[in-house]
Amino acid sequence: MSEKTLSIIKPDAVAKGVIGQIIDCFASNNLKIAALKMIHMSKREAQGFYAVHSERPFFDSLTDFMSSGPAVVMVLSGENAISKNRELMGATNPAEAAEGTLRKRFATDIEKNAVHGSDAPETAREEIVYFFPELEIVNF
Which spans of this chain sit near Mg ion (rule: CB under 5 A)? Answer: 119
Q: Letter for the amino acid at 10?
A: K
CA-based torsion, 128, 27, 12, 87: positive or negative: positive
Whether 112 and 65 have beta carbons less than 8 Å apart is answered as: yes
Active site residue 53: no
Query: What are the CB-based long-range contacts (under 8 Å, 24+) for 59-65?
Result: 61/111, 62/111, 65/10, 65/11, 65/12, 65/111, 65/112
Intra-chain end-to-end CA distance of the chain, in Å: 14
Nearest residue to 66 (alpha-carbon basis) of 125, 13, 122: 13
In the complex with ligand ADP, the residue whose CB is nearer, 87 or 119, is 119
Q: Which option in Mg ion, ligand ADP, none does residue 92 bind, with CB closer than 5 to 8 A by kind? A: ligand ADP
Q: For ligand ADP, which residue of 21, 119, 125, 126 counts as binding (CB under 6 A)? A: 119
Number of residues that bind ligand ADP (CB under 6 A): 9
Q: Which option in ligand ADP, Mg ion, none does residue 4 bind, with CB closer than 5 to 8 A by kind? A: none
Residues 19-38 that bind ligand ADP (CB under 6 A): none
Site string for ligand ADP, 74-113 (x = CB under 6 A): ------------------x-----------------xx-x
Residues that bind ligand ADP (CB under 6 A): 53, 58, 62, 92, 110-111, 113, 116, 119
Task: Indicate which residues carry an active-site annotation.
Answer: 116
